[in-house]
Structure 1
Amino acid sequence: MSAATESVEAEGTTRTGIYMYAVVPSDVEVDREARGVGDPPAPVKLVRHDRIAALVSEVDVDRPLGRPDELLAHERLLDATAAEVPVLPIRFGAVVADRHAVVDEFLAPYHDEFDAALQELDGKVEYVVRVRYVEAAVLGEILRENPEVARLREAIRGAPEDVTRNERLRIGELINQAIEAKRQADTRTLTEALTPLTGAVNVREPSHELDAANVAVLVETAREAEFVKAVEGAARDWEGRATLRLLGPVAPYDFVTALKPEA
């Protein structure tokens, strides 16, 4: 699906294709100010087919995609759209020949599956809750709870690093094990607290060695305020021990496999 159409402009010939961002219900309207990838950023439009549609824009196929600002533009458009309507994300970089190809090669063959998925997501949004330990606080807990770590730290105090290499490695190993055990327990506590307010919870891999929890949740829009209040309460409970960040609403990456058109 790498063919391109040619559009002749005053300064010469530019080969263009249609860049696809997401599948949405066909009855949505696109903000006239919405912009996508490209230099300059191109206006975002809809290609409709029956009950579904694709968010698209024109791109110059002779200029490779992949700059960080283009990936950011792709994600921002998806997240802004997800805050208003159900969205099925399309993986970054999907380009087809023209608007007819959007329908014939993508929307029409999978219409019923896309329509069903959009109906399942209707009235729901994704949020991400990230919790990170305060380093001094979690190390203090580990020292209090693990006599071996405390003993080894005291034993190497003031000693040269090359002489105490084995002890330092053992301390690092024990601390990592302790943080992993705490992460599992704290992630479980957080998910149990949030599950009654969500439709689904997905536990993500930690993104930092001090992560206490990293979870994505699918929340009914009717319960967003209640959910946010619960997260704020959790943040107060963790104050001094960990910091909590709430991100969203974002496109439902954790609950829908990003679509990747067949080449």
Structure 2
Amino acid sequence: MAAESTAVYVYGIVPADVETEPHAIGVGDPPSEVTVVRHGEIAALVSTLESDLPLGTPADLRAHEELLDGSAAVCPVLPLRFGAVMTDTDAVESELLAANEDQFRAALDELEGRVQFVIRGRYIEDAILRELLDENAQAAQLKDEIRGKPEDATRNARIMLGELINDAIETKRAQDTGKVVSELEKLDALINQREPTHDEDAVHLAVLVESARRKELEEMVRRLIADWDGRVELNLLGPMAAYDFVTKPAPTG
């Protein structure tokens, strides 16, 4: 029988002195143990992969992120996009690490002592609707006009009300996001504003902050949670790898 074809999956770039956790596993079914390929002062986190098996299951995505986020908690990491596969470890060293050594080393130096978090908030529907109706007399009037009436008979009024509410939420989102950005600037954080993923998103920011200022960030978020109690459900996610700031495209090989 022919030998099974394998390839090497690459998760990210780390300093060369990094050691993987015992029995750390990565993508694939069954998953392979994660190892390190080194070149000079940099290295790549990798695992073997049966090249004829497709990637992309929820378990694969979860394994990719968990490995990178766990590594980012202890050292700088340059995450590669999901699906980075090369032919073998020699290709990883020569075509990825050696070919990009200076760039990768400089990027790791910039990330030293920093970590990414995501601040995400969503408006509480009833609360934001009351707020908007209190502030917008036209919207309040339309709301009264359609109350208790058949949907067909109030179609135009409902469309107009929906447009007013959507526009008002966009304005609120910009104002509330600006408030959070102003607070983050006091922490000398790098900020990447993400696109809303839901109509009622209030804030969606990726933040790169010094690890030493993590407690300050957490305290800032606690203050905002208290200020927006009953209005916005606010969450701080992380620490995680710096996906929004340094993600590299998948290598070919």
Q: Give the corresponding residue for 2:197.
A: 207
Pairing partner for 2:17 from 4, 10, 27: 27
Work out the CA distance in 2 between the residues paired with 1:173 and 1:199.
35
Q: Give the corresponding residue for 1:121.
A: 111
2:157 matches 1:167: yes
TM-score (norm 2): 0.97
Pairing partner for 1:189 from 172, 179, 182: 179
- DSSP-derived class of the 2:186 partner: helix
The residue type equivalent to 1:173 in the other structure is E
Number of aligned residues: 253
* 1:73 CA displacement: 0.7
Q: Give the corresponding residue for 2:60.
A: 70
Work out the CA distance in 2 between the residues paired with 1:208 and 1:198.
28
* 1:260 CA displacement: 2.1
Deviations 1:11-36 (A, max 9, x none): 86211111100000001111112110
The residue type equivalent to 2:149 in the other structure is A
Q: Give the corresponding residue for 2:145.
A: 155
Work out the CA distance in 1 between the residues paired with 2:211 and 2:143.
50
Answer with 91-100 or 126-135: which moved more. 91-100
- DSSP-derived class of the 1:23 partner: strand
Deviations 1:153-208 (A, max 9, x none): 11112221111100000000000000000000000001101221143111111111
Counterparts in 2 of 1:196-235, with a 5 A limit? 196-235=186-225
Counterparts in 2 of 1:248-263, with a 5 A limit? 248-262=238-252
Deviations 1:131-172 (A, max 9, x none): 111111100011100000111111112221111100000000
Counterparts in 2 of 1:46-125, with a 5 A limit? 46-125=36-115
* 1:58 CA displacement: 0.4
Work out the CA distance in 2 between the residues paired with 1:207 and 1:79.
22
The residue type equivalent to 2:93 in the other structure is V
Work out the CA distance in 2 between the residues paired with 1:199 and 1:122.
14
RMSD across aligned C-alpha pairs, in angstroms? 1.2
Where structure 2 has 5 or more consecutive residues not aligned to the other structure, the ranges are: none
Counterparts in 2 of 1:32-51, with a 5 A limit? 32-51=22-41
- DSSP-derived class of the 1:202 partner: strand
The residue type equivalent to 2:118 in the other structure is V
Deviations 1:20-53 (A, max 9, x none): 0000000111111211011121100000000100
Where structure 1 has 5 or more consecutive residues not aligned to the other structure, the ranges are: 1-10
CA contact (8 A) 2:81 2:247 kept: no
Work out the CA distance in 1 between the residues paired with 2:168 and 2:34.
49
The residue type equivalent to 1:140 in the other structure is R
